């Protein structure tokens, strides 16, 4: 069973989120093999646009 995707690895712009899979539904019996294929997968996350450096102001 796949887990939900984790949080995005960036706070703005495009990033990656990861989810993992466990072979527990049903669990392999009597020394059976684990699930075939990857145990982890990534997805793309697209967040709000990052502010440009020109728009940043220094507050004193």
What does pLDDT average to over the chain? 86
C-alpha–C-alpha distance, residues 2 and 21, integer Å: 4
Band of residue 56 on the pLDDT scale cut at 50, 70, 90: low
Mean pLDDT across the stretch 10-34?
85
The pTM score is: 0.64
C-alpha–C-alpha distance, residues 33 and 12, integer Å: 40
- The CATH architecture one would assign to domain 1-47 is Single Sheet (2.20)
C-alpha–C-alpha distance, residues 2 and 17, integer Å: 13
The residues, ordered by sequence, that sit 6+ positions from 24 with a Cβ below 8 Å of its Cβ are 1
């Amino acid at each position: 069973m796949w887990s939900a995707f984790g949080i995005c690895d960036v706070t703005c712009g495009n990033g990656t989120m990861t989810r993992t899979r466990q072979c527990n539904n049903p669990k392999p019996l009597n020394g059976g093999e684990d699930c075939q294929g990857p145990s982890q997968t990534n997805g793309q996350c697209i967040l709000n646009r990052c502010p440009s450096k020109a728009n940043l102001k220094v507050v004193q």
